[in-house]
Amino acid sequence: MKKEDALSQTSSPGFWESSDRFAILGRAEYMDRIETGLGTGGSLLRRLAGPDPDKRQYFSRRLLRRLAQQLYLVDAACSGFLQGQPRDAFLLIEGSRESSGDENQNNTFARRVGNMYRQWAARRKMRCEVLQETDLNAKEPYRLLLSVIGFAAFTILECEAGLHVFEIPSKGRKDFLRYKARVRVAVQPETPPGHGLEALRDQAIHVFSELDESRLNIVRRYREEPSPLIRDSVRKWRTGNWQRVLEGNFDLLS
């Protein structure tokens, strides 16, 4: 559907009472965002090339990074849109109580995973809002509920759903203590939740309550000792660069 086709439906009889109006308007708005993103990419490319690109001997590394990221996100957004994939996401990170070690340590790891997604959203220029976050204590599992809006937010985050496992060598034994964080990803409905973050939080809680998730796959395993190693079972990569992953670049390592 072209943006003009979507907008033309707004003049159809009964459109504003139709249950489809939110999806149609949402698609038109998303196409407008993609057009703006392409325009930003073109502007960055012109700045990078300069007035006489054939004579350039040096290209700004900062602009190259910005352009590469912009093209990556716009490409993901276009691919997701053409395939009819959802756009925006709710993200829920919870500390597990099935871990083999200290519950405080488990909550600390879950919070690190949550911070990784917040940094990812900031780096990708996405709108990330905290809808709910528990205190960091051992009395209850850590819980972080986020709303993430941006290019291909759901498409990229969908691969993150499952268990994230932090492995620490057990003293005096040859095996590992394992701390787990569960990540859940859900589609943000087209229908507006109402006004304010409280309404958005209630919508997110309702959406997650209706998800059927009987199986949990392991997304990534994290080790700091005896040598740093992170293994991604979904995107099929491994790295010793902890900082790069926890700064939110997990989607650009495959």
Measured CA distances, 227 to 168, 222, 242 (Å): 11, 11, 10
DSSP SS3 for 37:
helix
Comparing CA positions, the residue from 225, 201, 249 lying closest to residue 91 is 201
Last residue in a domain, options 82, 111, 136:
82
- My answer on whether 177 and 229 are in the same domain is yes
- My answer on whether 12 and 93 are in the same domain is no
Last residue in a domain, options 62, 82, 102:
82
What is the span of the domain harbouring residue 222? 89-252
- My answer on whether 134 and 76 are in the same domain is no
Residue appearing with tokens 């009819």: 84
The predicted-structure confidence for 131-176, as pLDDT tens digits, reads as follows 999 987 767 889 999 999 998 899 999 999 999 999 988 876 678 8
- My answer on whether 29 and 113 are in the same domain is no
Tokens matching residue 13: 């009889």
- What CATH number does the domain containing 93 carry? 3.30.70.1660
Radius of gyration (C-alpha) of the chain in whole angstroms: 21
Last residue in a domain, options 82, 97, 121:
82
- My answer on whether 118 and 42 are in the same domain is no
The predicted-structure confidence for 90-139, as pLDDT tens digits, reads as follows 999 999 866 556 778 889 999 999 999 999 999 989 999 999 999 877 67
- For the ranges 45-49, 112-116, 139-143, 228-232, which has the lowest average pLDDT? 45-49
d(CA 23, CA 1): 12
Count of domains observed in the chain: 2
> Side chain identity at 192, as an amino acid letter?
P
Residue appearing with tokens 């993103």: 37
- Outline where DSSP puts E strands in the chain: 89-95, 127-133, 143-149, 162-169, 176-187, 218-223, 229-232, 237-239
10 Å CB burial of residue 85 (0-12, 13-18, 19+) is middle
